[in-house]
Structure 1
């Protein structure tokens, strides 16, 4: 599948490309620390967006648990970033991140796209907000699954001592929950998923191009 974004056709990023870039990152502790801090930022944004979008009285245990786990993942990656490079920043300033602006744009573009597409349908506001949360989470978890799996393999092969197994398990559980609720609540779940996946692939390809250039 080739994604089309802004009139340009963009080939999806392959796992081999991700692995190559991650192995480059692992060779430099300072760069590796910035990568970990960038992952921390993305997890923090995920937690913050859940809290911002899911308001009112109808907030389930799943939503609260998901937000808390994303926050915990953010803290986990932040702690690792400082272990890998103790002289690194405690904050999310641009100098402490690896293509941080591109990473944020990836998340924001994805969130905006899903919200825009669902807003164009005749879906009640409350249902639309929950569906948006489910779809954005699903797409992010699918992408995280690919990146984290490759990252875990690179870490294991390098003998780094860092493991993402617990986070991978929790992300898999999140994805399973999203799919369950989406299948129940959206009759167009399968066709919409394919449409959204294609656009997400384009957004990720743009982020990855920045990452690839930065680590070349």
Structure 2
């Protein structure tokens, strides 16, 4: 019984062919594509306003050179946002609950920001490994600690996104199972758990949006 709770995190397959690529690309098909009209419809206008808002918020902490990453970061934010929200629908699969996918998104972008910093500002990038005014006996230990902290950043990004979404999905399934099991026995308690399930679903919608924003924001802060 307990093992069935984790079936929702298994990558779907059809005739032995993994469908995770389709589940990743399908949300992009739901977004309205731009056209050549002078006056766009309300949905396209809302989409452009949302993209502008997201890009503006992501670019505030960055300098002028970091604005070159605006298209990449906004696209990543849109991908994670649509995947996380659509994964809350019944009978769907959320690819961001897989640590391998989150690491595949975090590691190359982290490495790109690291190499960009070493190429453009090597002294400042290496200076982060040793705070100013450090006593001489502590220099080797601090360098090792800061290097370890730098290397585990992509792992922390991937684990944070995976853990938050996985925990939310498990809580929703546990409470929904309790609601259906208590309905014929204790209807009043079942209605109470159904109310808790409704509030938890609203919370998970907020978590899905916040975690997508936090993932991209922490990646953009590596550019500073």
Asked whether the two chains share a fold, i.e. TM above 0.5, the reply is no
With normalisation by structure 1, the TM-score equals: 0.30
- TM-score if structure 2 supplies the norm length? 0.29
Give the number of the structure whose alpha-carbon radius of gyration is greater. Answer: 2
